[in-house]
Chain A
Amino acid sequence: MFDYLTFGLLAQLFINGILFGTMYGLAAIGLSLIFGTMRIIFLSQGAVIILMAYCCYWLFTLFKIDPYLSIPIIGLAAMVLGAGIYQGLFRRAVKMEDKNITLLIAVGLMFLIENLMAVMWTPNPRSISTGYTSSSIPVGGLAISFTRLMGFVMAMLSTAGVTLFLKRTLVGKAVRAASEDIEAARLVGISPHWVNTIAFAIGIGLCGIAGIALSTTYPFDPYFGFIFSLKAMIALALGGLGSVFGALLGGIILGTLESWSSFFISGGWADAVSYGVFLLVLLFKPEGLLVRSVKKV
């Protein structure tokens, strides 16, 4: 029997998956930019997202600033933080042959942020509750949560913004050029430090957006970040490095997969399915599911 209930349920799961997946997608875009320009696997991405979620939470709790009004504040602060992380932690390390050093710095930063958050704000889960938290918008018999829809819209807009920046501005083109071939980029006069700073500013700026989306939709605790980083990497493997919309789409596919598998199999299987998919993609199409192979000159 395929009645309306099952169809409605499937659709609802699908929509939830998409909305959650956009957060993975945002994290994946940042990872992709940072990896693309510097070959750094920035494992602290998830922890930074949680940190931003806490910022949003405290702006709301202490200063009564509506989460959506805090977008410009947190977005800007996150970009500055990103530039600072590059200048302070990675500027010297990116020049080194040994890429393990940057990975270790990223892991160290993750532990630092996690523990800082746990000490400052206790390991208890938090969530933001506003007047509109539980409101939903009816669409053709389905109820779409307002906050998740907002998260989706924020993700789409920031992805479009990043894409426009990379495609239309000279500095954005320089970031793409440097990701492709840093030596050639230097020969036309592109400064690696400038490009790297920008990649970090955008990557961490997107963490700000993802943090706000997260804090308004789900409870979070200081240690949630690592899983988030892993999921972002899976999203990246699905979408393929080097494509902003691919990364977002990878996140959405992953979110949908998780949402379905946690319903049809059981909650605990959602992660197993994600990692399974990750392995399969790495085994059979390591350049990313959604990537056309591009030949190098």
Chain B
Amino acid sequence: MENRLLEIKDLHVSYGSVCALWGVSLHVPEGSIVALVGANGAGKSTLLKTIAGMNRPKNGSILFSGKHITGLTPEAVVNAGIAMVPEGRKLFARLTVKENLELGGYIPRARPFIQKSLEQAYELFPLLKTKSNQIAGSMSGGEQQMLAIARSMMSRPTILMLDEPSLGLSPLVVKMMFELVEELNRKGMTILLVEQNIYQALKISHYAYVIKTGKIVLEGKGEQLLSDPEVQNAYLGTME
């Protein structure tokens, strides 16, 4: 059996009286790309936020490298090695590109390596180096998404969670985005990818889950799901 880096068991999450996740279970093997796809409001962001420590689950457990991380603060979760690029990027818009990157390496585990991580980030994204003193909020959408990913890599994570990285980007940039995700994975990064861009997400992922109103309704290898009539129907037709 492959090494389960991240394992979610029977997770229940609710906002007040509204239940957003009803017993979600999934796992991410080390070194793989796992995609989580589903319609608006299905609970994808809720799941990522709960893993990141932003939401407290009502029930269920989250295991990272076999250890319980359920209920940790977001700070502790990043320090443990789980980085998230949130939906809408959430950059520090008034800070410079370089300051955003430096703060990505704020956690105690990554802080001693900030200079080294910065060089690696600039190597991966030469564009960010040329714009290092630009205010983050003044960059284009694609550049901001790059910065958001680079910032999360500054924490030297073991697993990267991306919440709709292609959101609001032009088709060409979306293509680059997915290539980047694949490249990061080739370099050894484990990735949990949330996407509405189902076709591309399933194509690059090793395994995928389909979530619908807070429950996992389908799962399988990426290519396999692509040929699934139900997915095709949902993908080609309207996502209700």
Contact = CB atoms under 8 A, between A and B. Distances in A.
B120 interface: no
A296 interface: yes
A187 B93 contact: no
A88 interface: no
Contacts of B75: 186, 189-191
Contacts, number: 85
B162 to A, nearest CB: 13
B99 to A, nearest CB: 5
B73 A186 contact: yes
B74 A173 contact: no
B103 A170 contact: yes
Nearest to B136: A297
Given A170-B103, A177-B103, A187 B84 contact: yes
Interface residues of B, number: 35
B92 A181 contact: yes
B22 interface: no
A66 interface: no
Which of B79, B84, B90, B151: most chain A Cβ within 10 A?
B90
Nearest to B78: A189
B137 A184 contact: no
A294 B103 contact: no
A183 B90 contact: yes
Interface in A241-297: 242, 294-297
Interface string A142-182: 00000000000000000000000000001001101100110
A1 interface: no
Contact of B92 (A176, A186, A191, A242): A176
A180 B111 contact: no
B19 interface: no
Contacts of A180: 92-95
B91 A184 contact: yes
B103 A188 contact: yes
B44 interface: no
Contact of B102 (A170, A185, A187, A191): A170
B91 A188 contact: no
A170 B89 CA distance: 21
A198 B82 CA distance: 27
Contacts of B106: 170, 174, 188-190
B103 A186 contact: no
Given A170-B111, A174-B106, A297-B137, A187 B94 contact: no
Given A189-B78, A189-B155, A296-B137, A183 B94 contact: no
A188 B95 contact: no
Contact of A188 (B53, B54, B137, B151): B151
Nearest to A191: B75
Nearest to B99: A173
B91 A297 contact: yes
Interface size range of chain A in the complex? 20 to 34
Interface in B108-150: 111, 114, 135-138, 144
Nearest to A177: B92
A5 to B, nearest CB: 48
B177 interface: no
Contacts of A190: 75, 103, 106
A185 B90 CA distance: 9
Given A189-B75, A296-B137, A173 B102 contact: yes
B107 interface: yes
B144 A176 contact: no
Interface of B: 52-54, 73-75, 78-79, 84, 86, 88-95, 99, 102-104, 106-107, 111, 114, 135-138, 144, 151-152, 154-155
Given A176-B94, A177-B103, A295-B93, 11 more contacts: A170-B102, A170-B103, A173-B95, A173-B99, A186-B53, A188-B78, A189-B155, A191-B75, A294-B94, A297-B91, A297-B144
Interface of A: 170, 173-174, 176-177, 180-181, 183-191, 242, 294-297
24 contacts: A170-B111, A170-B114, A173-B95, A173-B102, A174-B103, A176-B99, A177-B92, A177-B95, A180-B95, A184-B91, A186-B74, A186-B75, A187-B52, A188-B104, A188-B151, A188-B155, A189-B75, A189-B107, A189-B155, A190-B75, A191-B75, A242-B94, A296-B93, A297-B91
